[in-house]
């Protein structure tokens, strides 16, 4: 087995799990994070007590707050919140070689415009091969060894094969796709509909309602994807339907938890404080609302959620106010 040097930027639950998966295949992993105290704790106890206290980490994983430690990496996986992505990418640029594979595992969009994380990497690293990891990946379940799968998307087949070898094992399956834009859009957009399903949960809505929100949400995602040049068929795979179902249905999802708080009557600020971690769907909602309006793409659930969360519209205890003015057609991937 060829041992590789892999760096994971971001010491949250998802970054920690990716480092763990890479180490299981014999790779040496640098797990970078800003928090020096957490670095010291991980290196001493072999556990990330803050985010995944149940997962024992291999001695092949070295936590670090020194970006220079990524210098000899064969692959660098970016796994920081989208708000910090551009800054961390710029910080890493002094130490990344042109031969390194660069992977984004961050689900979200940049506040300004509609830049996905892979597009930021393309801007900063025009000579590198770039890929996207996305799928129904709840870190806690993967840490428990429960059967899970993800997608590595890139136009570089060699990169895809490399990531499959680095991360795959008996309980974590990695599948390939050549539509990175569609895969990444699926991972970002589904957070919006997880909030909607959370609201339905908080209102004690039935399973029929949850299924309706997911399916109508998938249609909205497909229309926007098609308009922006992605392949809407990508959304029928793990990075689309798979991730949508998992995130919308799971109480472990922060976006779902936030929505449930809103459905139960908490204010937006109260819900944010209760969750206490980044809720990617909130920022994505604002960006997607803007681009859907500019491109005249019909997204009724996005419209309704935006009014409730950012304009103070009253939910009035009714899930109808989340579904909004729905379009008549059942399946439509064009606007």
Active-site positions read: 190
- What are the angstrom distances between the C-alpha of 121 and each of 53, 77, 231? 31, 11, 21
- What are the angstrom distances between the C-alpha of 77 and each of 103, 151, 296? 5, 14, 35
Pull the structure tokens for residue 260: 């449930």
> Do 133 and 151 touch, CB atoms closer than 8 A?
yes
Hey, is 319 helix, strand or coil? coil
- Name the DSSP letter for residue 128: S
Pull the structure tokens for residue 48: 């990330």
> Do 130 and 5 touch, CB atoms closer than 8 A?
no
Q: Render 293-316 in DSSP notation, one character per residue.
A: HHHT---HHHHHHHHHHHS----T
Hey, how many other C-beta atoms are within 10 angstroms of the C-beta on 139? 20
- What are the angstrom distances between the C-alpha of 118 and each of 25, 84, 110, 173, 324? 25, 14, 11, 22, 32
- What are the angstrom distances between the C-alpha of 75 and each of 64, 143, 160, 268, 309? 16, 21, 11, 39, 39
């Amino acid at each position: 087995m060829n041992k590789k040097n892999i760096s994971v930027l971001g010491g949250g639950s998802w970054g920690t799990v990716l480092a763990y998966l890479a180490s299981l295949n014999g790779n040496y992993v640098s797990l970078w994070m800003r928090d020096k105290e957490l670095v010291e704790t991980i290196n001493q106890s072999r556990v990330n007590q803050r985010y995944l206290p149940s997962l024992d980490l291999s001695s092949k994983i070295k936590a670090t707050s020194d970006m220079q430690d990524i210098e000899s990496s064969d692959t660098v996986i970016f796994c920081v919140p989208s708000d910090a992505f551009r800054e961390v990418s710029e910080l890493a640029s002094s130490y990344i070689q042109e031969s390194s594979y660069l992977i984004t595992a961050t689900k979200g969009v940049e506040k300004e415009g509609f830049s996905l994380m892979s597009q930021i990497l393309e801007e900063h690293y025009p000579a590198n091969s770039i890929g996207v990891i996305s799928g129904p990946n709840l870190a806690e379940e993967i840490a428990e060894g429960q059967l899970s799968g993800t997608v590595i998307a890139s136009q570089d087949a060699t990169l895809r094969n490399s990531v499959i070898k680095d991360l795959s094992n008996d309980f974590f399956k990695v599948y390939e796709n050549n539509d990175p834009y569609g895969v990444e859009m699926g991972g970002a957009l589904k957070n919006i509909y997880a909030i909607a399903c959370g609201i339905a949960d908080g209102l004690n809505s039935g399973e029929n309602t949850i299924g309706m929100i997911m399916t109508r949400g998938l249609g909205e995602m497909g229309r926007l994807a098609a308009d922006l040049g992605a392949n809407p068929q990508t959304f029928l795979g793990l990075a689309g339907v798979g991730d949508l179902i998992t995130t919308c249905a799971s109480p472990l999802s922060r976006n779902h938890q936030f929505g449930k708080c809103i459905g139960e009557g908490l204010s937006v600020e109260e819900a944010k404080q209760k969750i206490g971690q980044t809720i990617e769907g909130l920022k994505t909602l604002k960006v997607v609302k803007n681009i859907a309006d500019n491109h005249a793409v019909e997204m009724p659930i996005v419209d309704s959620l935006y009014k409730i969360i950012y304009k103070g519209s009253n939910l009035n205890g009714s899930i109808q106010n989340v579904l909004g003015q729905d379009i008549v057609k059942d399946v439509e991937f064009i606007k």
